[in-house]
């Protein structure tokens, strides 16, 4: 089995992901759907898988994987592409998923993100969270924001990534990219040392533990802009998850520092386009203001969504339902897809029917 030919074939077929599993032929994901790479592809053997692992992994990564670690690495194939690779074990055998990452840095407009993301990227200080499920575009969004800063401002941008997916070259800014496991042992250690490296902007691939969260919050309160991703599905879930990481005795302190230094939470959900040409992001955007700050401080998080909807025109916040409605209105996704992606489909139906009967309705 030739992994280079498999990856080349998958890229030519416009795949986003390639799955390798012992006992099955290679499987690709295209426009959200899984299918066999080709009808002729043979099943992958244990020997095939071991050869692939030897080809794509450094010796130290091979050793870590053998001792039971899940592994995340980056792999580049000249003239083909760069891949984020996840290696896991299941039923005693190895399984590998390749995700294609473009050599070209994505722009905010190319990712079909709202223009307010460009404004957020140029904030001088505070915390901006990019959230969503696995594969929702969190990393691409962070990179697009860094790329925007790099072409607009003279800053020192320090990133902590696991692994480094996009290689960002210095432009107006100085870029320091540190890979977990290669350049620094952990996000926690990397964040702790970052504050001694004179950064203006710190980008954290993922906030995973209480200490990392606290250091990120502290950095955001001392004049740094902190961009970070979080595995959560909405602004409300993000705040809840952050606070749940801490003991009751510390929650008041964390709540206070979060309420006063949070700039925005951008949550992403990828929707299938109506014309079947790919996906488009629905974006929930929370922009912090005095009312949002009050809601966080008083732990009235159930009021977040109503406040976001109420002040969308003034501050730029947007609920998922408002975003989904916009996508339907622009004929980018169909009504059924919007309903499926909505957190509250009943509320979405109401929003949609209100628009149908009220020409003066404004999002």
pLDDT at 356: 61
Per run of 10 residues, the mean pLDDT along the chain (length 363 residues) is 95 95 96 90 95 95 88 90 94 94 91 98 99 95 98 98 92 97 92 96 96 97 98 97 96 98 99 94 98 98 95 91 96 96 88 66 45
Other Cβ atoms less than 10 A from the Cβ of 132: the count is: 25
pLDDT at 363: 45
DSSP secondary structure of 156-190? EEEEEESS--SPPPPSSSEEEEEEBTTTBS-HHHH
Q: How many CA atoms lie within 13 A of 360 on its CB side?
A: 0
pLDDT at 313: 84
pLDDT at 204: 98
The two structure tokens encoding residue 27: 């499987």
pLDDT at 351: 80
Closest CA to 279 of 326, 327, 335, 231: 327
- Alpha-carbon distances, residue 19 vs 16, 33, 98, 122 (angstroms): 10, 12, 7, 37
pLDDT at 357: 58
Q: How many CA atoms lie within 13 A of 195 on its CB side?
A: 16
In sequence order, what are the residues at sequence separation of 6 or more whose Cβ sits closer than 8 angstroms to the Cβ of residue 220? Answer: 125, 126, 127, 226, 261, 262
Cα dihedral 228, 209, 161, 174 in deg (nearest 10): 60
In sequence order, what are the residues at sequence separation of 6 or more whose Cβ sits closer than 8 angstroms to the Cβ of residue 182? Answer: 163
DSSP secondary structure of 9-23? HHHHTT-SEEEEEBT
pTM of the model: 0.86
pLDDT at 145: 99
Other Cβ atoms less than 10 A from the Cβ of 209: the count is: 13
The two structure tokens encoding residue 81: 């592409």
Structural domains of the chain ordered from first start: 3-101 (3.30.450.90), 116-318 (3.40.50.300)
Q: What is the CA radius of gyration of the chain?
A: 22
The two structure tokens encoding residue 294: 């009050």
The two structure tokens encoding residue 105: 């840095």
């Amino acid at each position: 089995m030739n992994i280079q030919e498999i990856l080349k074939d998958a890229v030519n077929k416009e795949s986003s992901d390639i799955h390798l599993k012992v006992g099955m032929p290679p499987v690709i994901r295209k426009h959200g759907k899984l299918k066999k790479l080709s009808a002729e592809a043979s099943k992958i053997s244990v020997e095939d898988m071991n050869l692939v692992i030897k080809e794509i992994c450094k010796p130290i990564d091979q050793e870590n994987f053998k001792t039971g670690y899940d592994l995340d690495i980056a792999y580049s194939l000249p003239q083909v592409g760069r891949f984020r690779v996840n290696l896991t074990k299941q039923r005693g055998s190895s399984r590998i998923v390749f995700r294609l990452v473009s050599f070209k840095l994505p722009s905010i407009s190319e990712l079909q993100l709202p223009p307010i993301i460009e404004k957020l990227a140029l904030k001088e200080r505070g915390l901006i969270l990019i959230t969503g499920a696995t594969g929702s575009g969190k990393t691409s969004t962070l990179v697009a924001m860094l790329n925007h800063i790099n072409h607009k401002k003279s800053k020192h941008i320090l990133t902590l990534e696991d692994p480094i997916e996009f290689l960002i070259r210095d432009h107006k800014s100085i870029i320091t990219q540190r890979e977990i496991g290669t350049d620094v042992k952990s996000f926690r250690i990397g964040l702790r040392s970052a504050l001694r490296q004179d950064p203006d902007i710190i980008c954290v691939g993922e906030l995973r533990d209480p200490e990392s969260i606290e250091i990120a919050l502290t950095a955001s309160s001392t004049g740094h802009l902190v961009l970070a991703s979080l595995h959560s599905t909405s602004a409300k879930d993000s705040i809840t998850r952050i606070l749940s990481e801490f003991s009751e005795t510390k929650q008041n302190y964390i709540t206070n520092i979060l309420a006063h230094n949070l700039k925005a939470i951008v949550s992403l959900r990828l929707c299938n386009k109506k014309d079947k040409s790919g996906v488009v992001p629905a974006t929930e955007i929370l922009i912090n203001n005095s009312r949002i700050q009050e809601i966080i401080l008083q732990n009235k998080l159930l009021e977040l969504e109503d406040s976001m909807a109420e002040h969308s025109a003034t501050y730029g916040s947007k609920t998922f339902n408002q975003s989904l409605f916009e996508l339907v209105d622009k004929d980018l996704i169909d009504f059924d897809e919007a309903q499926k992606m909505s957190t509250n489909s009943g509320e979405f139906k109401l929003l949609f029917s209100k628009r149908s009967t009220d020409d003066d309705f404004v999002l």
